[in-house]
Each structure stands twice: as C-alpha cells, then as structure tokens.
Chains A and B, each alone.
Chain A
Amino acid sequence: MNLSLNEEQLLIKNSAEKFFLDNLSFEQRNKILTSDGKLCEDLILKSKELGWYGLPFDQKFGGLGGNITDVMTLIETFGASLHIDPYIFSLLLPGKIIEHFFDEDKKSHYLDKIINDNIKLAYCFAEPNIRFDIHKLNCKVYLEENKYFLKGKKMLVLAADRANSIIVPAIDKDKNVYLVKIDNTSKNFLSNKYKIIDDSDAVDYEFDGFEFNENDILVKLNYEEYKKKISIIFDYLTLAVCSEALGVIEKMYKLTLEYVKTREQFGKRIGDFQVIQHRMVEMYIIKEEMRSLNCSAQVSFSNNDPKERIKSISLNKIFLDTKAKEAAQDCIQLHGGMGVANEMSIGHFFKKLTFLSMLFGDSDYHYKRYELVDKI
C-alpha cells in the first residue's frame, strides 16, 4: 500500500508550482484577465511546453501516458493558483470524449491535434431542463430529404468561446446518439457568450434546424452505449473538478491561517481567540478529509468496479458541495470586510469553489446517484 506521491508526481507538482509562481501571481492574473485574451493564450502555450497537455493521454496518440494520480496532482495545482486555462474543458473533456468514443483513426488524428497543435474543441454537456443529468439528451438530430439537421439547446459550454469547433451530442428518433462537430464560427445558429463567476467564459447555443454534413458526424452509436461511456468520462471529469477544488481549499486554508495569525484586534492576533482557533482546526480537518476522499476515488478508478467508482466519486462531490463549501464560507467570514473585497485573492478562490461545487452536479444530485448505486 502506498498513498503518497511518487518522485515523478512530486516533480509534476513542484514544476507546476514553480511555473505559477513565475507566471501567475494574483497581480499577473488580474492583468491577464483584464487584457484582450492574447496574454492568456500566451500563458497557455508556455504551459504546454511543460507537457501538461499530453499528460492524460496514451503515448501512442502523442500523449505522455500519465496515470490518474499524475493528472489529478497537476490539476490540484491549478486550483491552488486559480489557473486561467480552462484545461478541464478544452483539453480533458474533449480528449476523453475522443479517447472513449472515436475509432482508432480519428482518435490519433484528433488527439494529436488537441495535444500538439493549437486546435481547440469544446464539448456541450449541459442543456436547459435536464439540471445536472449528463445522460439526458433533448437536442435532436433529424433527416429531411437526405440532409441532416439539429434542433435543440446547449448551455454552459465552457471554453467554447476559444474553441475552433464544438462537439454537440444529439439524439434521433431511433435512439441513436450522434456526436456532431460544428464550426464555431458558423452564423447559422444563435450563440450567447457570458461570464461565469470565476471569470471564465461560457457560451449558450440554440440550434433551430441547423443543417450539417454527414462528414461532421464524428460518432454515431446507440443511446445505451452512449450512456455507459459518458458516465465513465464524467466520473473522471468530476474527480478532476474535485481535485481542482482541493487545491482551492488548501490555498484558502493557508491564506486564512496566515490572516488570523497577523490580523490584530483587541490588542491580540484574532487567531488568539479560541473560537477562531477551533474553526481553523475544523478547516484543517476538512481539508485532510477532502484529500483522503480524493485518494479513495483515485483508487476506485484503478479497481475497475464501476459501482465503487460511482460511489466514491459521488462522495467526493457531496463533500465538496457541503463541508468544503462551508469551510470556504468560513474563510471569508474570518477575513471580515477583507473577505468580501474583490481586490483580495481570497474572494476569487471562494468564487472558484462556488462554481466547482455546482459543476457536474450539486450534493442533491450526488446523494441520489449514490443511493441508486448502493441499492441492495
């Protein structure tokens, strides 16, 4: 048994931390966010030199063949630095879709493109009226006079604004699922770009009889098969979200601990008050628990028992949306007025955590999911 990071993983962690120290201080981050987007792309290109884009994928497709711990270790550092690359959505999600759904030829072609070229894809995972259930599809494909059309809505497509193409999953009347590649610059559908509270961008799409070519169908498969595959992918993605959140909480804990050690009121450090000591200890326990649950989920992935995997992932997400969220609220509280001032970094971590705690299902969704799998 070994639950600590190996040498390679420590190297990933340390080099990432060094990269962020040099390139993404809070001030540098603000500057990048208020610029026109070029600074952001420059930073992403620079980060690719460290091999981050290849890490999650097999060597035979141009990747580095990292295992789950390698990848989650890297993503945790993103959380701790509020990385502005939407890595999970522009690399990991489309990459895993390609890996699980595409035939071998397409796999090599597309993976190579997103890892090594500067081609960006975004996958449309959310629709109105399905809440968090990624298995549901209301977006329709239909054929008329041998032409293909799309009708439906996709929302909260993250990293879509900078994607060359989006991948739209949709279903036909015979319960076949199509993954359709759509040129993001097309004018034949409505799209609306907006800001998310963590300063990232999302796009909503509405296809109202949008015509596409047969060539644009990347994959066609039956719905049951689709559900099975998409479920594994989103378990992996949900773990990535929890790992990023773990980095966020670790950093919030550190910042808050530092704050209560320096801020003085009533002639003492506020950390000298026992209520505050107890709350910091509680926070410390929570972040340790969160890391332990994260380990359990990583282990469940290598075990190949889908039930255990699903349960473990859901426990991680429930923890994030309940206990970790409360800890984050406490961090703001202990900063007093400073906690609500946008010029302090603590609030930006808080917003990131708020976003992550909802993404891919809040605690209600995951309680239910756990229950369904755990039926005796």
Chain B
Amino acid sequence: MNIEFSKDDLEFQQKVRNFISKNLSNELRNKVANGSEISKEEIISWQKALHKENLFAPGWKKEFGGAELSASKRYILDQELALADTPTIIPFGVTMIGPVLMHYGTPKQQSFFLPKILNSDHWWCQGYSEPGSGSDLASLKTKAILKGDKYIINGTKTWTTLAQYADWMFCLVRTSFEGKPQEGISFIMIDMKTKGITVDPIITLDGAHEINTVYLEDVEVPRENIIFEENKGWTVAKFLLSHERTSIAAVGKSISAVKKLKQIANIELNNEGSLLITDKRFRDRLTTLEMDLKALEFTELRILSEENKGVAPGPEASLLKIRGSEIQQRITELTMNAVGYYGISNDLANSNADRSNSNQFRPDYSQNTAANYLNMRKTTIYGGSNEIQKNILSKMVLGL
C-alpha cells in the first residue's frame, strides 16, 4: 500500500504547476483566494487556457479530445488547481453533459457539442429541479409534447445555477404520463436563446446572484436534441448524478481552505492576546476538522484506486458527498470564529457602497467570510441533499 506518485506523475505535477504560474494572474488568484465573484469572462478565459494545455477534460477519452488521464493524475490536477487558488471549473459542461454525450450521444450530437464544450464556447446549465420536484425529482412536471419534428416545452425549472450565463441547458422533461413517473422522463438539450425562455434571478443569503428560475413557455426544441431515447431520460440522469456526486466532495478545495484558515490563525489573536493557533480550544477544533478531512481524502483515494483498476464508483460515492459537504461548511464556520468581528459584515452590500472615507482595519483575509459561510449552506442541499444521500446509502449499500 502506498500513495507514492510515479516519476511520470511527478513530472505531470510539475507541468501543472508551471502551467498555473504562467497563466494565473495575481489579480485573479487574489480574487479566488478571498472568495470574490469571478466574472463569466474570467472563468471562460481560464478554462480556455486549461484546454490549450489539454488539462481541461482530464477524464474524457482521447477520441473526443480529452486527456484520458489516470486516476492519480486527475487527483494531482484537482489538488494543484485547488491549492493554487485557480477559478473553479464550471462542471455543467465538461463534467456533466460531456460524459453524458460521450456515453449516450449520437455521433452528430457528439461532433457538434463536444468541441464547443472543450473550448468553453458553450456555457451549460442543469435544468433538473422544479418548484414542486426537488428531492423527488421523478415527479417533475415540465411537459414536452411532440409536434412534427419538434417538442413544445412548458414548465418551470428552478435553482438553476448560472443559467444567466448559459448558452445551453440540459433538461429533464416529461414526455409521458403513463407507467411509473421515472418511465415518462426524457433528457433534452435546449438552446437558451430559443423563444419562450425567461431567466429570473434568485438572490441567495449572501446577496449573490448564482441561481435562477427558468420559465419555459411554448419553447420549441428540435426532436434531435433528445439524448438516448424518449422516456429513457431517467437512465441518463442517474448516470450523470453519479458523476456529480464524486466531484462534489471538493477535497482539494477544502485542503486549500484549511491551509488558509491556518494562516489566519497564525495572525489572529485569541482573547488572551496569544496567537489563535496556540489556543487549545480552537486548535482542537481545527485538528478535528483536519482529521475528518484526512479521512475524506483517503476515502476518495481508495475509491480512485479501485477506479484505476477499472471498478466504477457505486452508490458508496454518496459518502463523499455527505462528508465533503459537511466539511466545506465546517471550514467556513471555523473561519468565522477565527476572524471574529471582522467576519460579520455583509461584504456584497459593502462593496457597492462608497468607500471614499474608509479606514481599513479589516485584514484582506477576512473579506467575504460571512458570505462564504452563508453560501456554503447550499452544499448539503444541492446535488441530492444529504438526507437523500443517506437514504441511498442505507438502501443500496446497507440493504435496509
């Protein structure tokens, strides 16, 4: 048993580091580091740069233009990108619809969409959830009725992440009301410029505009935009969900966040005036967090190591989602504790306010602390809530 990287892996790691130092501006790095909003343009140009070095689609097959990296290299890449404060890759294209297209798409769909995903020319969003269908996704009501060679789609999708930027949406729609609810669902791709689509912002607790409601009113979508077969969308959706569940663990991001938290605790003072990192109570909580993170990291590595041998991750991956999301939340909570009173200002509201007569006691590292804490509440809710993940584990793994 070892986790030593091969010579080849280490060279790859160096390559990634070189790439980052050449391509990531200080400005962008700082923005990512203090949790500021990254613009659409910044994200796209970062993704394009990654693609140029063939680092954007590490899991894709070579025949589709991917890098087809080994599990250990993908792990290295993930870690390096997270530790260096690079912008988060938007998963909807490259890690969600991409693999779906490679697995289920027609050659025509593949040759049209895959290159545009690779080159970040298409921004994708995910249209699963509806106001009445969250955890119980199979109950979704958005209707697609076939008329000639077009579907006419009516319904409402909600919580749709970054739909305001999207060129395309992959969407679950109801094409049949017969049989079990799962059996009447189809997976379809919708051009966001189509007539009848309205995207309304939903502002979250931190004041950010990250999610939306998408109204679909008599939206005409060509029949050929369906993936796999009509009424077989549930199979496709399940395939995709299993991809989402592993990437949602965010181990690299959490390792990076803990590192930052430690730096803060090496500057901030406790109530007695000693460095916070030497405060026993704080330190113990930090160590507990690191313990859980280490366990998560090696659980992920164990799953990756099976994957290296060709065993696909099963429902066990739900445990990564559960712990990964909890850890992300706990880090932001402990960071709140670490920065104390600096951390409770509403930075999004303040960044719009006039700062001409401002004195800056607030250290940079305390920016957006509350916003991050509030924003991270989502992690245990989205991607299948943690309660639902536990239901999956108890049924599929424990057999209860």
Residues of A at under 8 Å CB distance from B? Answer: 126, 128-133, 153, 155-156, 190-197, 199, 202, 204-206, 264-267, 270, 273, 275-276, 329, 332-333, 336-337, 339-343, 347, 350-351, 354-355, 358, 362, 364-365, 367-368
| CB under 8 Å from chain A, chain B span 332-360 | 336-337, 340-341, 343-346, 349-350, 353, 355, 357-360
Binds A, one of B116-124, B182-190, B246-254, B378-386: B378-386
B158 within 8 A of partner (CB): yes
Cβ of B224 < 8 Å from any Cβ of A?
Answer: no
Interchain residue pairs with CB less than 8 A apart (15): A130-B271, A131-B341, A133-B271, A194-B353, A276-B387, A333-B381, A340-B381, A342-B202, A342-B204, A342-B207, A343-B203, A347-B205, A355-B344, A364-B271, A368-B271
Mark out the residues of chain B between 355 and 396 whose CB falls within 8 Å of any chain A CB in the assembled complex.
355, 357-361, 370, 373-374, 377-378, 380-382, 385-387, 390
Would B337 and A364 count as touching, CB distance under 8 A?
A: yes
Check: B270 CB closer than 8 A to any chain A CB: yes
Q: B271 contacts which of A132, A191, A195, A206 (Cβ < 8 Å)?
A: A132
Q: 12 other contacts beyond A190-B357, A206-B359, with CB at 8 A cut-off?
A: A128-B361, A156-B341, A156-B344, A194-B349, A204-B359, A267-B139, A276-B387, A337-B381, A342-B204, A358-B341, A364-B279, A368-B271
A190–B360 CA distance with the chains assembled, in angstroms = 10
Q: Which residues of chain B (180-226) have a CB below 8 Å from chain A?
A: 202-205, 207, 211
Contact present for B281 and A275 (CB under 8 Å): no
Q: Is B168 an interface residue (CB 8 A)?
A: no
Q: Across the interface, name the chain A residue whose C-beta is closest to B376.
A: A340
Chain A residues near B270: list those with CB within 8 A: 131, 364
Q: Name the distance in Å between B161's Cβ and chain A's nearest Cβ.
A: 11
Asked whether, in the complex, the Cβ of B282 is within 8 Å of the Cβ of A340, the reply is no
Interface pair B341/A126, CB less than 8 Å apart: yes
CB of B136 within 8 A of chain A?
yes
Query: B204, B336, B341: which contacts A155 (Cβ < 8 A)?
Result: B341
| Interface pair B350/A341, CB less than 8 Å apart | no
Contact A365/B271 with A191-B357, A340-B378 known, Cβ cut-off 8 Å: yes
Known: A131-B269, A131-B340, A190-B359. A329 touches B377 (CB 8 A): yes
Confirm or deny: B134 has a beta carbon within 8 angstroms of a beta carbon on chain A. Answer: yes
Q: Are A364 and B359 in contact (CB under 8 A)?
A: no
- In angstroms, Cα B341 to Cα A155, docked, is 9
Point out residues on B near A: beta carbons under 8 Å: 129, 132-136, 139, 158-159, 202-205, 207, 211, 268-271, 279, 281-282, 329, 336-337, 340-341, 343-346, 349-350, 353, 355, 357-361, 370, 373-374, 377-378, 380-382, 385-387, 390
In the bound complex, do residue B346 and residue A195 qualify as a contact, i.e. CB atoms below 8 Å apart?
yes
Q: B359 touching A197 by the CB < 8 A rule?
A: no
Query: In the complex the two chains form, what is the Cα distance from A246 to B191 in whole Å?
Result: 49
Q: Which residue of B lies closest to A265 (CB)?
A: B136
Q: How far is the CA of A50 from the CA of B205 in the complex (A)?
A: 33
CB distance from A304 to the nearest CB of B (A): 27
- The reply to whether A364 and B203 form a contact with Cβ atoms under 8 Å apart is no
Q: A266 to chain B: which residues have CB within 8 Å?
A: 135-136, 139
Complex CA–CA separation, A197 to B135 (angstroms): 29
A155 to B360, CA, bound (A): 10
Chain A hits for B207, CB < 8 A:
342
Given the complex of chains A and B, what is the CA–CA distance between A342 and B207 in angstroms?
Answer: 7
Contact residues of A: prevailing secondary structure: mixed
**B355 cross-chain contacts in A, Cβ below 8 A:** 192
**Interface pairs A-B: 9 shortest CB-CB:** A192-B358, A265-B136, A195-B349, A195-B346, A190-B359, A342-B203, A206-B359, A347-B205, A337-B159
Across the interface, B359 reaches (CB within 8 A) one of A192, A202, A332, A365, namely A192
The smallest beta-carbon distance between A234 and chain B, in angstroms, is 14
In the assembled complex, the Cα of A310 lies from the Cα of B248 at a distance in Å of 44
Return the chain A residue nearest B205 by Cβ: A347
In the bound complex, CA of A204 to CA of B360 (Å): 9
Q: Closest CB-CB distance, A276 to chain B, in whole Å?
A: 8
Question: Does B381 lie within 8 Å of A339, measured CB to CB?
Answer: yes
Chain B residue, CB-CB nearest to A365: B271
Contacting residues, chain B, for A196 (C-beta < 8 A): 344-346
**CB of A364, distance to nearest CB on chain B (Å):** 5
Across the two chains, which residue of chain B brings its CB closest to A371? B281
Contact among A190, A194, A265, A333 for B350, CB-based, below 8 A: A194
How far is it, in angstroms, between the C-alpha of A343 and the C-alpha of B201 when the chains are bound?
Answer: 11
Are the CB atoms of A195 and B204 closer together than 8 Å? no
Residues on B with beta carbons closer than 8 Å to the beta carbon of A191:
357, 359
Give chain A residues whose Cβ lies under 8 Å from the Cβ of B387: 273, 275-276, 333
Instruction: Determine the chain B residues whose CB is within 8 A of the CB of A329 once the complex forms.
Output: 329, 377
The answer on a CB contact under 8 Å between B159 and A354 is no
List B contacts of A365 (CB < 8 A): 271
Establish whether residues B381 and A336, one from each chain, have CB atoms under 8 Å apart when the complex forms: yes
Q: Are A337 and B271 in contact (CB under 8 A)?
A: no
Question: How distant is the Cα of A194 from the Cα of B336 in the complex, in angstroms?
Answer: 18
- In the assembly, what is the distance between CA of A312 and CA of B390, in Å? 38
Chain B residues near A339 (CB-CB < 8 A)? 377, 381
8 Å CB contact of A343 from B129, B202, B346:
B202
Q: How far is the CA of A367 from the CA of B285 in the complex (A)?
A: 14
Least Cβ distance of B214 to chain A in Å? 14
B281 proximity list for chain A (CB < 8 A): 364, 367-368
Shortest CB-to-CB span from B198 to chain A, Å, is 17
Which residues of chain B are within 8 angstroms of A133 by Cβ–Cβ distance?
Answer: 271
The answer on a CB contact under 8 Å between B271 and A358 is no
Of all chain A residues, the one with the shortest Cβ separation from B207 is A342
Q: Which residues of B contact A343 (CB under 8 A)?
A: 202-203
| Closest Cβ neighbor of A321 among chain B residues | B337
Q: Decide: A336 and B344 in contact? CB cutoff 8 A.
A: no
A337 contacts B357, C-beta separation under 8 Å: no
Chain B nearest Cβ from A137, distance in angstroms: 13
B136–A340 CB distance below 8 A? no
Smallest CB-CB separation from A199: which chain B residue? B346
CB distance from B349 to the nearest CB of A (A): 4
CB-CB nearest in chain A for B349: A195
B204 touches A341 (CB 8 A): yes
| A352, chain B: closest CB distance, angstroms | 11
Central interface residue in A155, A339, A364, by most chain B CB within 10 Å:
A364
Q: How far is the CB of B45 from chain A (nearest CB, A)?
A: 29
Closest to A132 in B: B271
| C-alpha spacing A107/B326, complex, angstroms | 51
Knowing A190-B357, A364-B281, say if A341 contacts B202 (CB, 8 Å): yes
Residues of B within 8 A of A205 (CB): 359
Interface contact B377-A332, CB-CB below 8 Å? yes
B380 to chain A: closest residue by CB:
A333
A202 to B346, CA, bound (A): 11
B205 touches A358 (CB 8 A): no
Q: How far is the CB of A340 from chain B (nearest CB, A)?
A: 5
Which of B207, B346, B358, B380 counts the most A-chain CB atoms under 10 A from its CB?
Answer: B346
Residues of A within 8 A of B135 (CB): 265-266, 270, 336
Say yes or no: B385 contacts A336, CB within 8 Å.
yes
